[in-house]
Structure 1
Amino acid sequence: MPRPASEVVVRIAREDEYEAIGALTVAGYQADGYLTRANGSYDDGYAGWLADAAARGRHDTLLVATVDERLVGTVTWCPHGSASAQIAQRPDQGEFRTLSVDPVARGRGVARALVQECLDRARAEGLTEVLLCSLDEMTPAHRLYTSMGFVRRPELDWSPAPGTNLLTFSIDMAGEGRRGDGR
């Protein structure tokens, strides 16, 4: 009889996991080429920030996904007031960043479970909107976000550095959704 698929468990990261979480985050971004700039150079600055899971764990809510107690994914939940938030500025908004899944664990619902945990936290905190930014080439993530009810918010797109374009997505926690086309 085949063994059932192991369950994805999402929880708050422990301090003793920070180094491994940083490495996992960088590995996930590297696997898809997201740390290589358009000119072919490596983005050491952003890679260093991604690797510093300890800082995110101290200042935000660093979440991990595990399967059979093995780290397979991570995301940073940025509630109102977070220094890491890029676009969520109002008290009723939250944001998540640095969603990353170990390349060998992809296709098992890890990213979906991490995003769902962020949405559950937003509901528990009484937030009305969750936002996120994503590189324009992160199309697999975009499909996940839209499948979960996020919509594009092109009016909030921005560029933190030349050649780096961030697309914004949001979800209305009241369940009504917000259309990115102004309707």
Structure 2
Amino acid sequence: MDIMIRPVQPDEYKTLGEITAQTYLEDGLLDFGENDPYLGELRDVAKRAAAAEVLVAVDGGRVIGGVTFVPDGGPMADLAGPGEAEIRMLVVARAARGRGVGEALVRTCVDRARATPGCEGIALSTQRMMHSAHRIYERLGFARAPERDWNPVPHLDDIDLLSYTLAF
């Protein structure tokens, strides 16, 4: 695999934003489709990059996936507690799936978390239907943390997010 994982560059924000938005749309992860208010967040890579570390997977100079790594809480953290990093918005373009790109992105986040002073683990949220992502997390040693499952939109009962953690 000749995939390189590195920090996103400003000229790649739009590309990664579209990959992220299209992945969520194509995989049926947004309750309101093209009208979902979360689409704006998914496309706003500049905002994420200002508040956390956004990493991209690049193949032949082309962005094919990305992830947001929150090393120490901060404004992008939804679930991480003290001493925990968080992984958010893991995506791989449909055409690049099945090549280990998602796993490489998660492994890079795990390595970054282990290298972060005081970091004792990683937390993440995932939707119930993200079965491929669940397999990656479990293969890398993450465990389900059902006591940390949550709903980002309490008035919509069907958006329960599953939680996974990895302790070091």
What TM bracket, shorter-length normalisation? over 0.9
CA distance in 2, matches of 1:132, 1:63: 16
Aligned 8 A contact 2:126 2:162 in 1: yes
Structure possessing the higher radius of gyration over alpha carbons? 1
- Give the alignment's TM-score, normalised by structure 2: 0.93
Unmatched tracts of structure 2, length 5 or more: none
2:23 pairs, out of 11, 25, 28, with 28
Give the structure 2 partner of residue 177 of structure 1. none
Aligned 8 A contact 2:114 2:121 in 1: no
Between the aligned residues of both structures, percent identity stands at 39
Aligned 8 A contact 1:8 1:109 in 2: no
Aligned 8 A contact 2:73 2:86 in 1: no
Query: Stretches of 4+ moved more than 4 A in 1?
Result: none
1:53-110 Cα deviation digits (max 9, x unpaired): 11001111010001111100000001113201011120x1000100000000000110
Give the structure 2 partner of residue 10 of structure 1. 5
Give the structure 2 partner of residue 118 of structure 1. 109
Q: What is the number of equivalent residue pairs in this alignment?
A: 163
C-alpha RMSD of matched pairs (Å): 1.1
CA distance in 1, matches of 2:133, 2:106: 11
2:93 pairs, out of 96, 102, 126, with 102
Q: Secondary structure at the match of 2:152?
A: strand
Give the structure 1 partner of residue 78 of structure 2. 86
Aligned 8 A contact 2:53 2:68 in 1: yes
Q: Secondary structure at the match of 2:72?
A: coil
